[in-house]
Every structure is written in structure tokens, then in C-alpha cells.
Structure 1
């Protein structure tokens, strides 16, 4: 096999989400052109296109909370199972289960069936960069809509637009407690101090810095980007007023701006003074953060790390950074620069697949998709990557170490054996399958082991656990 064959295999397995039958041969005709054809201004496909929007799910959750308050006022103990379908706690659990299960399954199915693997991987990178995790009841049903509404439509547009959409989505505001943030000198804070309670009778609320800190540390300039604690506090003050529509906001859904909770006055963030301007003040800060060179370097390093190597080549980072800065953060141009970069096409696969990538590529290799959540939800949880359940706002790690512990590899082997026992019976020639899914990347040692396996199921399991399949 020649260089074009190797590059076809790299295009599908390193840049994409794993090879389906015939895909490597198609990509090998023009590997870079095949990848660039997947870059499109309208963004990545959404999963669950017929699912409820974030506004609809927020309304449902608000209804659950109203019913729960009414039930408690009527003297019903929380979580009274005897109430059956009318119990608000049980309704909340069902709401979360049904929505997250549907979103998870739809997302995996899209990944297993897409013909644009690079576009899907690019979207997954940005969804992880702007992590919203289903660790809170009120957020769990919004994680899927967040990715569909705020991330996927913008992944090949300007970074400033993606940043604005992500940070002002209801899911992000709730996940990082921004909806409860009150400026210490706002009209609402003055009322709180006089009454001793919050504006709705709840305990007094104060300034919350979570969203401001994560935007600076994780989403834009990075922890070494030159900001100080004073910048976090000032940015948090500018963000006050961004909140979620509640029962008193008749006819309003989703995000609202509440002038009464906004901290008045000018703000100074990273040396730049921003005049008082309500909601526009936070928008101006976000726009400036998107344009900073520190943001370009931080995120381009992450892109290179995600696609190429845990220790990304400095030359590749520099290429991506130049493309970012020269195009005002045009993510389509950055993606095309990644595709053209020679550093991205080295023959040695340096990246270990995450559990999600491993499971998705296994389905793609055998030409199927999960029929139900039971086939993927528990598996991903057992492998350490619970769907929509990143342990912190930092998201899932991109480096190999967290996924390469001995216990984790044993669990991968167990999945491979169980998956091969069920799906492997459909494989007539495991050696041919190995060639179709790895192409020129398949080494002689793995090829021999697969060919000498005692059964087709064992051969398929060996393929899935081969170093070439585990890495990309």
C-alpha cells in the first residue's frame, strides 16, 4: 500500500470517529479534500432534531417545581411514591431519565451512522470545551439541547459567536450558578438587605463568580492567560443580570436580563475599561476575550492536543494560531489549517481513544448502531465516561493517562469480548474487516493474531483491542 492509502486511513481514523466499510478507500482518493468537504458554515448535524427545545424543557421543570411546592404545602412528604404519577419528585426523575436517555442514544446513533466523521469529531471537541454536565437536576434535561442549540450550529463559524451562544445558554447559566448571581450594589441587593431575604422570599443571594472564572480559565485565555482574581470579580459583576425566566416572566422563555440584579457602574477586566451598559457590558467583555491572542494560543493548543498528540507539536500550534488570528477566529479556516498541517499526518498514532470514541468506532467497524440505551449507557459509565456526565467544568480529559489505567484497559477488553460475542457472529471474514477498518495502519503482528484466532468472535475482539484500533 502507498502513501495515499495510509493517509486515507489516517483521515478516517485520526480525524474522524472510526471507519465504516468502504470509508477508507473513499477517503484515500483525496484524503485532505475528503476532510475539507465536511467543513460547512451551517455547522454540524444535530441529534434528536424532533426533541423538545431548552425553553420547553425549562417550562416542564418549572412546572415540576411548582407542583412540588404545592404538594409540600399540602402536607405531602417529599418523594411520596404512593402518589404514583402525581408525585412531583417521581415526575422529575422521569423527566430527567426520559430526556437524558433519548439525547444520549440519539447522539451515539448520529456518531455511529454519520458519513462526516471529521465534522462530528470537531463538534464533540467543542462540546467538551464548553462542558455542561448533567450533575444537577435542573441541568440534566438541558445538556442535549445545549449542544444542539449553542454548540453544533456554530462550530465552523466565528469563535466569538460560539462563545456568546455557549455562555448565555440556559444550561450554562444554571450549571455554573449564574442565574442566581446578584450584584452587591444592585437594586435587588438593596431590597434584600432591607427585607433580609431574596426578591422571591428565598435566602439572600450574592455575587457568584463561577461563570466568570470558567470563561477565563477554561473557555478563553486559559489559566496562564494573564488575568487575576480582581478580573474574575469584575467580570462576574458585569455578568450579573443574566438569568432564567421564571413563573413571574409571563410569556418569556429561556434567558432573560434582569436590570434590577445587574451591578451598576463601569468595569475593568484585564486592563480594559468597559462603560456601564447593562447586558451589553458583558457582551463587550466576551467579544474582547474572544479576540485576545492568549485565547487563540490556549484553544489552538487544545485542538492540536485533541487531534494529534498529548504533547502537541509547537509548529502545529503555531500554524493554527496564525490561522485563528489572521481570520478573527474563523473556525472553518482553523479546521482547514489543521487538515493541511503536515504535523497532523504523521504515521504513528499518538492518541488513545476515549471510551466514547472506542464504543462509537466499534459500532462503526461492524456496521451497526445501538438499538437501546442499555447497550451503551451502562458500558460508557463502566468505562469511566458517563454520557453527559463530565466530572467538572473542565470536561473529559484528552490525555491518555486517565484512560490507560490497568483497570480501565481490562474493562475495555471485557466490552470488546462481549460486543464481539454478539455482533462478531455476523462477520464472515475478520481479517477482511480489519483491513477495511484500519487500512494501511494495520500492522503485521495484529493481522497475524486476528488471522490465527480460534473463532470469529475472538478475532473481532482481537481487532477491537489491537493497538491500531485503540489508538488514532
Structure 2
């Protein structure tokens, strides 16, 4: 029996994170069945080093601890005293811990499709900058993972109203003009449209989804009240959630439908209807197909969108329809993003490579962890990461990793792990003829098969 064929490579790279030791053998003789079997199966726990992952409540407290420390430093300076040097955890510190967790999961998980879905949906609902190091892990574990194989409406509600999103898109500062806070502020606090605009353009309907500026304003008013308190002490036990004094009262009309609910139910109802809109089916299907498979596949996009509509946005059914469609199994065409490249390397090696450090490598490669350049997230075009300077940086990264690897690393065995019999003759020849094991490893990591999925 062959160790691998083209379908095996698609299974582990397009619908996974790259082959782990022994994985190619496990998926034969049915690569599609191997991928589908991961849906609905609970993941085995992954042991990790360091502190337990943060939840959102603890993340919010870390934000307050940081603010208190900075305020104490500033107060001491104003009084002419020495800086007290109060230490506090920085968001970047927690971001690096979360990156370490992601690498460990990638290396050890028996459900690589689930990990790829989490990576995908975290990018669909991008949050970045500022305090994301404190809140991003909570968003992934509380809003994304529990809902990414359920109704899209539940995922849209959970991600939109999560404190990470409220922070990132400024909804915590959005006050309804007629709300208690808006009236009391005498115009100093007002409506912020950022979250509403991105929900419509990037998270649900898409830019061509038929909404107007009036719909943006209406949704912004609907979303008022969903905020975060940084008061010290807070006015109530929980720092994040629905605060009625910020909410614009009264009914609002969005996309021709009037929402008369008062309170938090108004946002939930509006977001649920957006999730069920036909334009959302088209947009979500188009983006999923282009992320997983590639551009230029309108038939596949249409078929996945039809399943979305027919199942009321059941993301397990939508994912299954993508995996079972013959057109989704075309040969690899997308250049791996830097994050995908490092995750695949961790999986191939059985653990994160210690050098160069993953955080530093991602910065050099152009995709710093949880720091997408805009709410749109990272580019998903097929060759988005194939610019000449990017390829040069990948060469430098692979050379440094190989130079710092264990001297007896067997790149030929890793070639079998990654591709088995499906490795091209050119790649096999380059690895076998390398001057030494480290050069062979660098050539494997830079091979066309490893760079694309």
C-alpha cells in the first residue's frame, strides 16, 4: 500500500495543519473519511507548560492591574517622587503565552481540522492591538470554539458581543444619543459606528450585501449598551455585558425590519437575523472556500452557500459540505501564511522548534501573532504571501531553524512523514543530495510541497 497519495496530502494540509508523525498512515485508505471523522469528536486534552489559559474575566482584571500600576507611576512622577517601579503583566506577554499554546496544540492534536477551523474563525472575527493579549484567548475559548460547528447565528452573537470585540471596535465607548449616558454627557459621548459597520461588511452580509449607511447607524444604535466598565471599583460585579444606561431606547429599523425589543434582546435578535440573511450565506461560503481551497471556484462557493441556507447556517453541515465536495480536493494552490507555516513545522517536528522563537519569526515573516493590520484580518488570496521579499525571509527563517536544529535531525525521515510517496522527484532528490542533515531540513521546509497547501 502506498504511504500517501495526492488526496492524503490535501487532507493533512488543506483540512489540517500539516502531517504529524504517523498521520499519513492513519488516514489511509480513506482521507476524506479521516477528515470528516473529526467533526463532532471531542478533542483530547493537550498538556501545556506554564500557567493555565486566561478566561475573559481574569483578562479584564489584568487590564485593571496594568491601569492601576501606570496611574501609580504617573502620580509619583507628578509628585516629584521616584518611579515606584510597580510591575505589571503586559498584553504582549500573554500573547506570547497564547502563541505557545497554539503551537503545542498544533503539534499534539488528534483533531487538526478543528484547530484549523479555530484559526480560520478567529481571523474571520479579527480582534487585534491594545489589550488583545489579555482578551484574545478568552474570545477563542469562550466565543469561537464552542460555536464554530453550531449555528452561525450563535457564533455571530458570541463573537460580536465578546469584550475583545467591544474593545477592538470601540463599542465600549458607544452611547446612544438618547440614552442616560448620552444625555448626561451633553454631547461628549456619542454613537460609534465601527462595530456595526464591520459586522455588516466583514462578519455577515459582506460589502456587496445590500445594506446602506442608515442600516449601519441603526445597527450601531442596536449595539449600544454592550460595553465594558473600566471604573475602579466597577458599578456592578461584572465589568462587561449589557449596561442599560448606555443603550439607545426605542425601536430601530434594520434592513427593513423593525426591532421593538428593549434591552439586550434587541442586539441578539438583529444579529440572529443577519446570520440568516441570504447575503450572509453567500459571503460566508465565499470566504470559507477561498480560505481553505482557493479563488476562482464559483460553483463550489454556490454549493456551500446553498447548504448554509438550507441548514439555517449549521456550520458543521457547511464544513462537511466543503470537505465532501470533489472540487475541494484539487491540488494544492495556496501559499501557506507564516502562521500556517510555523504550525505545520511544529506538527512535523513533533513540537515547536525552540529557535528561532515563533513570535520573532512571525514578525519577520510579516504576520505577527494577533496583530492583523485591519478588521479585515489577514489576506486570503492564493499568492498573498508569495512576494519576492517574503520568499527571501522564508529562506532566512528555514536556514536559521535548520542551523539551530539537533545535528542528527533526519530530514529524509521527515520527508516521509510530510509527504510519503507523494513527494515530488525534485524535492526528494534535493533532500537526498543535501550536503548534510541541516541543509536537507532547510530544503524540505522550503520545498514547493511544504510551502503550499
Answer whether contact 1:4 1:31 (CA < 8 A) is retained.
Answer: no
Q: What is the CA-CA distance between 1:42 and the residue it aligns to?
A: 6.3
Answer whether contact 2:103 2:351 (CA < 8 A) is retained.
Answer: no
Answer whether contact 1:46 1:148 (CA < 8 A) is retained.
Answer: no
Q: Deviations over 1:308-360 (max 9, x none)?
A: 1133x1221122112111111111111111111000112x2111100011112
Q: Deviations over 1:186-234 (max 9, x none)?
A: 22222111xx7xxxxxxx2110000000000000000000001110011
Answer whether contact 1:160 1:329 (CA < 8 A) is retained.
Answer: yes
Structure 1 residue matching 2:404: 3-state secondary structure: helix
Name the residue aligned to 1:190: 183
Name the residue aligned to 1:443: 424
Name the residue aligned to 1:391: 373
Name the residue aligned to 2:37: 37
CA RMSD of aligned residues (A): 2.4
Normalised by the size of structure 2, how large is the TM-score? Answer: 0.93
Name the residue aligned to 1:321: 305
Q: Deviations over 1:234-291 (max 9, x none)?
A: 1101111111134354552242222222112211111111114222111111000000
Distance 1:222 1:46, change over 3 A: farther
Which of 250, 255, 274 is 1:270 aligned to?
A: 255
User: Separation in 2 of the partners of 1:365 and 1:353?
Assistant: 15
User: Separation in 1 of the partners of 2:75 and 2:431?
Assistant: 65
User: Separation in 2 of the partners of 1:44 and 1:396?
Assistant: 29
Q: Deviations over 1:421-455 (max 9, x none)?
A: 23263333x33421320134311122112221121
Name the residue aligned to 1:201: none
| 2:356 is aligned with 1:363 | no
Distance 1:329 1:390, change over 3 A: same
Which structure shows the higher helix fraction? 1
User: Separation in 1 of the partners of 2:379 and 2:61?
Assistant: 33
Name the residue aligned to 2:391: 409
Name the residue aligned to 1:431: 412
- Between stretches 41-50 and 406-415, larger displacement belongs to 41-50
Distance 1:343 1:116, change over 3 A: same
Normalised by the size of structure 1, how large is the TM-score? Answer: 0.89
User: Separation in 1 of the partners of 2:396 and 2:82?
Assistant: 37
User: Separation in 2 of the partners of 1:45 and 1:172?
Assistant: 27
Answer whether contact 1:42 1:156 (CA < 8 A) is retained.
Answer: no
Answer whether contact 2:103 2:346 (CA < 8 A) is retained.
Answer: no
Name the residue aligned to 1:217: 201
After TM superposition, the runs of 4+ consecutive aligned structure 1 residues lying more than 6 A away are: 1-4, 41-49
Distance 1:283 1:81, change over 3 A: farther
User: Separation in 2 of the partners of 1:438 and 1:215?
Assistant: 40
Answer whether contact 1:43 1:154 (CA < 8 A) is retained.
Answer: no
User: Separation in 1 of the partners of 2:33 and 2:65?
Assistant: 50
Q: What is the CA-CA distance between 1:75 and the residue it aligns to?
A: 4.9
Answer whether contact 2:127 2:136 (CA < 8 A) is retained.
Answer: yes
Q: What is the CA-CA distance between 1:9 and the residue it aligns to?
A: 2.2
Q: What is the CA-CA distance between 1:383 and the residue it aligns to?
A: 0.1
User: Separation in 1 of the partners of 2:345 and 2:302?
Assistant: 34
Which of 95, 98, 121 is 2:90 aligned to?
A: 95
Q: Deviations over 1:116-174 (max 9, x none)?
A: 211111111101000011x11x3431112211211112111111111111011111101
User: Separation in 2 of the partners of 1:10 and 1:462?
Assistant: 21
Q: How does 1:302-321 map to 2 (within 5 A)?
A: 302-311=287-296, 313-321=297-305
Structure 1 residue matching 2:39: 3-state secondary structure: coil
Answer whether contact 1:5 1:25 (CA < 8 A) is retained.
Answer: no
Name the residue aligned to 2:219: 235
Name the residue aligned to 1:13: 13
Q: What is the CA-CA distance between 1:70 and the residue it aligns to?
A: 5.0
Q: Deviations over 1:385-408 (max 9, x none)?
A: 101111111111111443111111
Unaligned 5+ segments in structure 2 are: none
Distance 1:140 1:366, change over 3 A: closer
Aligned length: 450
Structure 2 residue matching 1:256: 3-state secondary structure: strand
User: Separation in 1 of the partners of 2:275 and 2:47?
Assistant: 27
Distance 1:471 1:219, change over 3 A: same
User: Separation in 2 of the partners of 1:235 and 1:169?
Assistant: 16
Distance 1:424 1:467, change over 3 A: farther
Q: What is the CA-CA distance between 1:44 and the residue it aligns to?
A: 10
- Between stretches 99-108 and 66-75, larger displacement belongs to 66-75
Name the residue aligned to 1:419: 401
| 2:101 is aligned with 1:106 | yes
Q: What is the CA-CA distance between 1:41 and the residue it aligns to?
A: 7.1
User: Separation in 1 of the partners of 2:381 and 2:306?
Assistant: 24
Answer whether contact 2:46 2:108 (CA < 8 A) is retained.
Answer: no
